[in-house]
Amino acid sequence: MKTTTKVAHPVMDISIFLRENTYLIKIVLNQYEQIYRVKQLDVTGIDDVKKMLDEDFLNKTYMRFVEMSKDFKASFNNINKIQNEQ
């Protein structure tokens, strides 16, 4: 897998890879990551992929990370609660 480019962002780590005719958009925040796949034939190039990463999309992606974190913490707290009750 070849790292095609990094996209600057103040909070999230955003990388775009090209593998087997598919762009992989990898967005990481702390211990969580989201990956989006775009077929190379569906865009005219890397610039189209970057255009997809507009402010609205990235804000929604960030909020998804917030929800992921809440879900994980609830699950983690639940399993620890169950173990402490045993």
Question: Angle at the Cα of 43 (from 40 to 46), degrees rounded to 5?
Answer: 80
CB contact at 8 A, 38 and 45: no
Provide the domain limits for residue 35: 2-85
Predicted confidence at residue 83, as pLDDT, reads 60
Report, as an integer, the average pLDDT of 27-48: 96
The total number of structural domains in the chain stands at: 1
SS3 84: helix
Predicted confidence at residue 11, as pLDDT, reads 96
pTM: predicted TM-score of the whole model, two decimal places: 0.85
Residue 11 φ/ψ, nearest 5 degrees: -125, -40
Bridge partner residues of 22 (DSSP): 19, 39
